[in-house]
Structure 1
Amino acid sequence: MRMTAPTKIMLIACGSFNPCTPMHFRMFEIARDHFNQMGTAEVVGGIVSPVHDSYGKKGLVSASHRCTMIKIGLQSSDWVRLSDWETQQEEWTRTRLTLQYHQNYINSVLKDSNSINDQQIPSWLPEGLNKMTGHVQLKLLCGADLLESFATPGLWKDEDIEAIIGQHGLVVISRAGSNPEQFIFNSDLLSRYRRNITIVTNWVTNDVSSTLVRRLLGRGLSVKYLLDDYVTEYIKKHLLYGSSST
């Protein structure tokens, strides 16, 4: 029996990354391991897309700082990269449009691969993408909290949820003990696109959040081993989140 080649996919995580934590990046590794073990897809790249400054979240530091911290935090990764496209727009961009932009760009590179060299490819795309054959599907990588936010009245438009899951797909990193399957079952919209939602359980729990990090920094407490040392160094150098330089 002839085996079919696994689907090629890229993962994109959208959010504030204020600041980025190791768990933000760990999600990419957990997802890639899952697809490798299942043999259902080949993950060819990962994208971190921080939100625009106009998002209006309290305590959000500038995109310039957040992008720099992401670059620092990703120095050891050879496949997850920063895209600053969202931050370069005139205003906040809906997640649906962010996915569409990146998917369209991926499609254009694959379509015109003969006329594009590696030097012309944006830094957020994996090297050698223009040499790949077949379709590369972009999927939104997120935690269970984002999935559950779909039920928050007024937060998401139904057409956006439908486009994100129906046209792209969702990869949800779930904590042990949570029940995303029940949440999906309770939603007619999510159930309709269940085949496009991949649930991956993270058995090594890590509850370190950006909120917790900001709180500790603001109180002058240590965040060592919670953040990349070089990210912490950058935060203190620029006195971000109420931290001191000492």
Structure 2
Amino acid sequence: MEQGNGASRRGKRPKSGEPVVDRALSLLAAFGSEHRALGLNELSRRAGLPPSTASRLTARLLRWGALERDDHGRYVIGLRLFEVASLAPRSHGLREAALPYLEDLHEITRQHVLLAVRDGDEALLVERLSAHGAVEIAYRVGGRLPLHETGVGLVLLAAADPGYRAEWIDRLEPSSAALRLRRRLAEVRNAGLAVFERQRPAPVCSVAVPIRGRGEQVVAAVSIVVPAGARKARAYEQVVRATAMAISRGLGARGTRSHA
């Protein structure tokens, strides 16, 4: 029987073991908005990996540029990941087409302007423009937002495949909450607009409209976020609709309808 090199045998993972790429991804997934810088022990614990494994993989991720070290020696996400993520077609082409119109909307309203797409069961924030003195919000580019508790989320959920939408709604408890959401999404589809108010971290109101691509399918949502009660939400409706239609045309949509 041919004997292989000892190092290569040690490098092979057991058939029942977790693939190396999954372990590396678990390290990257350990970071979050509340955990932007992590020491090795905390990174190991959050990723569910032995310290020795975490140390070996973080060294490889450092060399590739997926991780970097801050001034205190903690691990942070590296710029190489930002470079790779910027190539994602769902965000890059959309953001490139949308940004001039988002900037116009921001200039007109001097409020928060958000651009989001649906990614699984959440809305992913692709762009955010904010004015000095605007109401406090916790949203950040690359952050994930709940579909049923944000304006952009309601627009994206209302436009989702009916089967997926029904399955998503059925998860809500109690059943009365599911019934209310079902009715609300029907209203969003009919109006082509979602108005959502929230009290935390500050009282805000979001006005969101769908963005369409080729084939008239909803590919994203744009919204402004304003202080609750500052102005009636309907005062912003037309300018947000106009922004969404301009972006839609830039993405190849033929129609001008904004209904979800």
TM normalised by structure 2 equals 0.27
Higher relative contact order (CA 8 A, sep 6+): 1
